[in-house]
Structures are given as C-alpha cells and as structure tokens.
C-alpha cells in the first residue's frame, strides 16, 4: 500500500522573474509502507526541492502530494499541514546545526511537546529514540553542544524519530562524516526501519551508501525522474548513471571496464561481496573451458 505519493509534481522558483527556474518537473512517485528508498542525483538535479514537498514545506506549482490517500493541499485539508509534518518527518542536511535546546532530553522532547502529548508519553518517546540512535539514557541532561559531530547528528535524528513519523526523510544523513561515522548512521537508519516498520527516504551523493541499505532507488536528473526501481534494476544501468554525472561504486566501475574489454561478466555489481562472487564465477567458468 502506498503511504506517500506524488502525481505530476512540478515546482518553479521565481515565477515571472528573470530567475525563473523549474526545479522539479512532472514527477510521479510512490513510497510503500516499511521500505527504504534512496534518492540520488547530481547537484542541482532537484532532490532537495522534491523532498521539501513531501511534508508540505513547499507547495507544488502543479500536481499533487498525497499522504495516506489524501491530497495534502486540497481545500478540505488546508488546516492539516501541521499533522502532515508529524506524519512525514524531515531531517535536513547537517541537522546538528539546528540544535537549540540546553539538554539532550529537551532537544528530543521538543517535537513531541508540539504534538500535545502528556509528560509520560514524551518521556517514553525520548528514551526510545535515544535507544534507537545509540545514545545512553544517562546522557539526557548533558548539553548537546558538548557532543561530537556524529553524536549531535544522532540527537537531531532522534528528535525527528521521537514524533514517530510514518515516513522519515533524511537529507544527506552521512554528509561530512568519516567512514566509521557513515557506517554508524547507516546502521542506525536500517535498524530503526527494521524495528519501527516506518518508511525511510534518504538523499545521498554516495551510491555505495544507497546500495548498503535501500530497497529501491529514485534517480533525479535535470529536475526529472530518470530511473526508479530496485537497487539491482538501477545499478545495472551503470553507464547511463555515469552520463548523468553520478559516481558509480568503484567495484561497479571495475566490472563495467571488464565488460567493455569483452569479458562476459555481469554489470549489475555494486558491492564488494557481489564482486567476489562474480570473480569466482568467472574463474570457475574459465577453468571449465580449459
């Protein structure tokens, strides 16, 4: 069942000015319950503008955004945008820069308080969210400003999770982190999705990160959807992705080159583990021919 949909979504910046620009053009999209969707595309392709439509931060120039079967901008729903933002939580790139409360507890509790929940429910949600992102309960009274960059990001993500959104959207959740920090964030996102059953959308410039945890991949190119399918379906089109200015995983690049050299290898390889298995297959095939 589709929990979130877009139909012919279009957004134009600066209408009627010399700076008029179509950032999202005719996008059709759907997200089902309990899945992870990676969103990729070159800089300026429309990714960030697109996700800001999904919880009503931007209103479409044309087209519709549908949450739980309802057009969020329909006249009869015009007073429900606030509820839409609780159902579809959006965590911006470098969310740690938006932290403002004096303690970790208060920072994570801010969203649930806006929902009008009672103190016990707020406390329960704060502790549950801290557990999801790997923050010890004993840290609740610590200032978030005293934390490392990676810990601050976890606090920021926990503050969105605490509202228990049906859809969690993360804009470049691993930006600026070292490889270890990236793995921590990716693992917590996957773990959160498995435990909560929520739908997760995440924007990334790293096709390796997307391959690690996504079920499906949405590819933007020049304001339009260029591809939308499973990881296998999208990554098997490595040459097309490269023409869009995307950096395919190094292992994919290697097998594309082997294929161009006339070696009958698969081209939908995007993890090291897949590469090893394909190498073993090729080796075994060569031995059988000798």
Domain ranges of the chain: 2-234, 249-290
pTM over 0.75: yes
Tokens representing 12 are: 């134009």
Task: Report the pLDDT value the prediction gives residue 40, as an integer from 0 to 100.
Answer: 96
Q: What mean pLDDT comes out for the span 213-223?
A: 96
Digit-coded pLDDT (tens) for 147-194: 988 899 999 999 999 999 999 999 999 988 888 888 999 999 999 999
Tokens representing 52 are: 């800001």
29: left (phi over 0), alpha (psi -120 to 50) or beta: beta
Question: Are the beta carbons of 229 and 217 closer than 8 angstroms?
Answer: yes
Is pLDDT at 256 greater than 90 in this prediction?
A: no
What CATH number does domain 2-234 carry, 1.10.132.20, 3.40.50.300, 3.20.20.140, 3.40.30.10?
3.40.50.300
Q: How confident is the model at residue 268 (pLDDT cuts 50, 70, 90)?
A: confident
Dihedral sign, Cα of residue 177, residue 131, residue 138, residue 93: positive
Of the ranges 122-131, 159-168, 179-188, 209-218, which one carries the lowest mean pLDDT score?
Answer: 179-188
- Alpha-carbon distances, residue 277 vs 172, 208, 258, 259 (angstroms): 30, 18, 15, 16
- Rounded Cα distance between 204 and 78, Å, is 31
Dihedral sign, Cα of residue 179, residue 187, residue 212, residue 225: negative
What are the φ and ψ backbone dihedral angles of 155, each rounded to 5 degrees? -60, -45
Task: Report the pLDDT value the prediction gives residue 229, as an integer from 0 to 100.
Answer: 96
Digit-coded pLDDT (tens) for 45-83: 999 999 999 999 999 999 999 999 999 998 776 667 888
- Alpha-carbon distances, residue 136 vs 102, 106, 131 (angstroms): 17, 15, 7
Measure the N-to-C terminal CA separation of the chain; round to a whole number of Å. 52
């Amino acid at each position: 069942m589709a929990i979130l949909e877009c139909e012919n979504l279009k957004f134009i910046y600066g209408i009627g000015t010399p700076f008029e620009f179509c950032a999202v053009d005719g996008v059709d999209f759907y997200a089902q319950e309990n899945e992870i969707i990676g969103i990729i595309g070159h800089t300026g392709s429309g990714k960030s503008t697109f996700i800001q439509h999904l919880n009503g931060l931007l209103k479409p120039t044309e087209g519709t955004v549908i949450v739980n079967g309802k057009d969020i901008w329909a006249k009869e729903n015009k007073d429900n945008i606030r509820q839409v933002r609780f159902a579809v939580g959006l965590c911006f790139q470098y969310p740690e820069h938006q932290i403002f409360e004096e303690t970790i507890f208060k920072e994570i509790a801010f969203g649930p308080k806006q929902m009008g929940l009672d103190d016990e429910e707020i406390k329960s949600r704060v502790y549950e969210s801290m557990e999801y992102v790997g923050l010890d309960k004993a840290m609740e009274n610590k200032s978030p400003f005293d934390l490392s960059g990676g810990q601050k990001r976890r606090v920021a993500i926990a503050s969105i999770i605490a509202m228990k959104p049906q859809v969690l959207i993360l804009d470049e959740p691993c930006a600026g982190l070292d490889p270890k920090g990236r793995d921590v964030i990716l693992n917590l996102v996957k773990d959160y999705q498995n435990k909560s059953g929520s739908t997760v959308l995440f924007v990334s410039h790293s096709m390796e990160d997307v391959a690690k945890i996504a079920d499906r991949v949405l590819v933007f190119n020049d304001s339009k959807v260029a591809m939308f399918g499973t990881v296998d379906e999208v990554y098997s089109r490595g040459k097309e992705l490269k023409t869009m200015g995307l950096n395919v995983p190094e292992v994919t690049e290697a097998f594309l080159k082997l294929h161009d050299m006339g070696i009958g290898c698969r081209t939908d390889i995007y993890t090291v583990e897949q590469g090893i298995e394909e190498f073993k297959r090729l080796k075994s095939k060569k031995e059988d021919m000798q």
